[in-house]
Amino acid sequence: MDQRLLVMHQVMLADRPRLSAYDRALASVITAGDVVADVGAGTLVLSLLALRHGAGHVYAVEADPAVAAVAERIIADNDLHDRVTLVQGDARVARLPRRADVIVSEMMGNLGPEEQMVEILDAVARHNLRPGGSVVPRRLTTELVAIEFDGEGWGTWGDVVPGYRFDAVQEFVEPHAQLHFFQREPRFLSAPARLCDDVIGQGPPGGPRRDVRLPVLRDGRLQAVMGYFTAELADGESLSNYPSYPGCNWAVWVWPLRHTRVEEGDEVRVTVMPPRGRGRARDATAWALDCRIARAVRR
C-alpha cells in the first residue's frame, strides 16, 4: 500500500477539531436504529462515530481497493460485520440494500470543490437516501479573497537583508497555485467573495463561478488571492480551513501574484479555470486563475 496514503489518513485522524465537529453533527442528526451511509469511508472513523451515536447499520462506501482492505481489517478487528457493511466501488453508482436515513462524508478538498464531494453525494442521495433524510455536511461554500501576507510565504520577496533588493526572485516565479499553512494571519485587502455555494443532496450542483470580482477595501500590496472552504455540517456546526486551527489537516489554497500596490476603490477581477482531464480536478494546485486589476478613476 502507498505509504503516503497511510500518512495522509494518519494526519486526518490526528485532526481532533475535525473529528469533534463531525461527532457533534452526527449526534444531532442520528436517531437510534438509523441506517447510515459513510461515503469515502477511508479508515471508518465516521462509521464508528455513527455507531457510537446509535446507528443500527452503516454502509461504508470506499472506492480505493487498498483503503477498502484496511477498512475490512478494522471491521474484523472490532467484530462489526453485523453492523458495518463495506461497499467497495464508485459511490455514484452504488445501490444500497436499504435506504439511508443519514449520509455522511468528509471529502472537502483544500479549495473545497476539487474532490467532487457535492457531485458524488448528490448521486448517492438520489439513489439511496430516504425522503427527509439528512446529509452531513449539508452545504459547502468556497470563498476567494485578495490578501497581503504578513512577512511569510509569498510575502517575503522584499528587503530580506536591509539595504539590498531581493525582489528579482519574483521574475522567476511562475503563476501556479500553492497550498499554504499560515504562521501569521494575512491582511485582507478585499472582502471574501463566493466562488461556490452548494446545498448537498438537493442537486444538481451549481459548480464554481467562472468570474469573481474582489473590490479592494483598503490600500496595500496585493500578493495573492486565497481560497478556502466552509462546510456546514448541521445546525450550529461548521468546519472551515480558514482561519486555520491547531492541528488542521487542510492547507488553504493560494494563487501568488506579482506584488502590486492597490488602493481602495480598485478591483481585482478573477477568472477561475478548473483543470480539464480525467482526475485532474481533484488536484487543487491544478486550478488556475487569470487575474486583472481594474484601477479606480481618481481625480
Block mean pLDDT (10 aa), the chain, length 299: 87 95 98 98 98 98 96 98 97 97 97 94 97 97 97 82 84 88 96 96 82 98 97 98 94 94 97 82 90 90
Residues composing the chain: 299
pTM: 0.93
94 and 191 in a single domain? The answer is no
Domain membership of residue 160 (yes or no) is yes
Considering the domain architecture, whether residues 168 and 286 belong to the same structural domain is answered as: yes
- In contact, 231 and 294? CB cutoff 8 Å: no
pLDDT of residue 157: 80
Q: Which residues form the catalytic set?
A: 106, 115
Is the domain of 166 the same as that of 258?
Answer: yes
CA atoms within 13 A on the CB side of 286: 14
* Predicted local distance difference test score (pLDDT) of residue 183: 92
200 and 275 both lie in a single domain: yes
Do the Cβ atoms of 52 and 25 come closer than 8 Å? no
Strand pairing of 252-262 and 288-294? unpaired
Residues 254 and 157 in one domain: yes
CATH number at residue 237: 2.70.160.11
Asked if residue 38 lies in contact with residue 71, where contact means CB atoms within 8 angstroms, the answer is no
Buried b / exposed e along 21-30 (16+ C-beta atoms within 10 A): bbbebbeebb
Domain count, the chain: 2
Spatial distance between the Cα atoms of 157 and 180, rounded to a whole number of angstroms: 16
Q: Please report whether residue 116 resides in a domain.
A: no
What CA–CA distance (Å, rounded) separates 43 from 41?
6
Angle 3-13/65-77 helices, nearest 10 degrees? 50
Q: Report the C-alpha gap between 156 and 5 in whole angstroms.
A: 32
| Contact in structure between 59 and 37 (CB atoms under 8 Å) | yes
- Same domain? For 90 and 150 the reply is no
What pLDDT is attached to residue 163? 86
Domain that holds residue 201: 140-294
Indicate whether 274 and 155 sit together in one domain.
yes
Q: For residue 195, what is its C-alpha cell? A: 466562488
Q: Which of 82, 100, 83, 80 minimizes the C-alpha distance to 91?
A: 100
